[in-house]
C-alpha cells in the first residue's frame, strides 16, 4: 500500500525552490551572514513565480548549503522549516514537498510534519552510494517506521508521500548493478511511493532509454524526472513520465540557485503541457 502522490495533474510539474545559503553554511558566511528573513523572502518570491507560471506544486530544498552533511545540522533544519512553512502558506492548495540535502529523510519528515508539506524526496533510500559526502547508505527501514509512527504513512491521519531517487545524481552506486535492479529494490523492498531518475548532475537529463528501463522495471510505480527537463529535452523525456521536478531550467540563465525567471518557467509549462502524458 502506497501513499498516493498529491497531484491532480498527470504528468505533474513541480518547481524546486532552491533556498539560498542557510545560517551556518560556508556560503552564508561568504555572503556576509544575511538575515534569515532575506532567505525566506526569496523563497516566497520563487514560489509565487512558479505558481504564476502554472506549476502544479513546489519542493523546498537547502540547495545553497553545499558542501552538505549526510544529515542536516539542527540549525539547518530549523531554518529550513521556517522557509518551508512560508512556501506552504504561499502555495495554498498546491502541494509542497521537502528535500533535506544530502540524504536526511527523517529531517524531511519532521519538516513536513511541522509545515504541512505533503511529500518528501530522499536521494538514497535503498542500497548505498559513493558521493561527495562519502558513503551514503539507504534508510528505508528506519524512515518508514518513523513515518508510520507519526501517522504520515498509508492510512495515517496526515499521509506524506515518499519519492526516492534511483541511481541518484552526483553519486555512483557502491555495488554497481543495473538500473532495473535498483528501481525494483527501491519500489518493492524500499517501499517508495514514487521513483525519481535523474542525469549525472544538477541540470543534466537522463537518456530516454534509462527512463524506459525504469518504467519497464516498475510499471506500477509512478516515475518522475529529477533533473534536466529543458525545453529541448521535453519531447523525448515527458512521454515516459508521471511528473518532473524542475529547478535550473526555470531559473535565470539556467543556473541552479538563481532566481526563478518567469519567462523561462512559463515556456517550460507550455511545452510540458503540449507534450502530454506517458506512453
pTM here is: 0.95
pLDDT score recorded for residue 279: 44
Per the listing, cell 544529515 goes with 71
Q: Where do runs of H (alpha helix) occur along the chain? A: 26-30, 36-53, 74-91, 105-115, 140-149, 179-184, 208-217, 234-237, 262-275
pLDDT one-digit tens code per residue, 132-183: 898 999 999 999 999 999 999 999 999 999 999 999 888 888 877 899 999 9
Is there a contact between 271 and 233 (Cβ–Cβ < 8 Å)?
Answer: no
User: Does residue 260 sit within a domain?
Assistant: yes
Q: Which portions of the chain are predicted below pLDDT 70? A: 276-279
pLDDT score recorded for residue 55: 98
Distances (CA, A) of 197 to 68, 150, 202: 21, 28, 12
pLDDT score recorded for residue 278: 52
pLDDT score recorded for residue 258: 97
Is there a contact between 98 and 108 (Cβ–Cβ < 8 Å)?
Answer: yes
**What is the C-alpha to C-alpha distance for residues 199 and 191, in angstroms, rounded to an integer?**
23
User: Does residue 100 sit within a domain?
Assistant: yes
User: Does residue 7 sit within a domain?
Assistant: no
User: Does residue 34 sit within a domain?
Assistant: yes
pLDDT score recorded for residue 11: 95
- What are the grid coordinates assigned to 71, written together? 544529515
CATH number assigned to the domain comprising residue 168: 3.20.20.390
The pair phi, psi for residue 190, each rounded to 5°, is -85, -15
pLDDT score recorded for residue 83: 98
Q: How many CB atoms lie within 10 A of CB 85?
A: 18
User: Does residue 2 sit within a domain?
Assistant: no
User: Does residue 6 sit within a domain?
Assistant: no
Q: How many CB atoms lie within 10 A of CB 178?
A: 12
User: Does residue 61 sit within a domain?
Assistant: yes
pLDDT score recorded for residue 208: 94
User: Does residue 78 sit within a domain?
Assistant: yes
Number of domains making up the chain: 1
Domain span at residue 118 reads: 12-274
pLDDT score recorded for residue 277: 57
Amino acid at each position: 500500500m502506497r501513499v498516493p502522490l498529491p497531484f491532480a495533474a498527470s504528468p505533474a510539474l513541480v518547481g524546486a525552490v532552491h533556498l539560498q545559503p542557510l545560517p551556518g553554511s560556508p556560503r552564508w558566511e561568504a555572503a556576509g551572514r544575511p538575515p534569515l528573513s532575506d532567505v525566506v523572502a526569496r523563497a516566497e518570491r520563487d514560489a509565487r513565480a512558479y505558481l504564476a507560471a502554472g506549476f502544479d506544486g513546489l519542493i523546498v530544498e537547502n540547495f545553497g548549503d553545499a558542501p552538505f552533511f549526510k544529515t542536516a545540522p539542527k540549525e539547518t533544519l530549523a531554518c529550513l522549516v521556517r522557509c518551508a512553512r512560508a512556501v506552504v502558506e504561499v502555495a495554498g492548495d498546491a502541494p509542497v514537498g521537502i528535500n533535506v540535502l544530502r540524504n536526511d529523510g527523517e529531517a524531511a519528515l519532521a519538516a513536513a510534519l511541522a509545515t504541512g508539506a505533503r511529500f518528501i524526496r530522499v536521494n538514497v533510500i535503498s542500497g548505498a552510494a559513493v558521493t561527495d559526502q562519502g558513503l551514503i547508505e539507504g534508510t528505508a527501514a528506519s524512515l518508514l517506521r518513523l513515518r508510520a509512527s507519526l501517522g504520515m504513512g498509508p492510512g495515517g491521519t496526515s499521509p506524506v508521500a515518499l519519492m526516492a531517487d534511483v541511481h541518484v545524481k552526483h553519486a555512483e552506486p557502491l555495488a554497481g548493478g543495473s538500473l532495473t535492479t535498483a528501481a525494483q529494490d527501491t519500489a518493492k523492498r524500499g517501499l517508495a511511493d514514487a521513483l525519481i531518475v535523474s542525469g549525472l548532475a544538477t541540470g543534466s537529463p537522463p537518456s530516454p532509454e534509462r527512463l524506459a528501463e525504469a518504467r519497464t522495471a516498475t510499471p506500477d510505480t509512478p516515475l518522475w524526472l529529477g533533473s534536466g527537463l529543458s525545453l529541448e529535452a521535453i519531447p523525448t523525456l515527458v512521454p515516459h513520465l508521471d511528473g518532473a521536478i524542475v529547478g535550473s531550467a526555470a531559473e535565470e540563465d539556467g543556473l541552479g540557485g538563481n532566481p526563478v525567471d518567469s519567462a523561462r518557467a512559463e515556456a517550460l509549462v507550455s511545452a510540458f503541457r503540449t507534450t502530454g502524458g506517458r506512453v
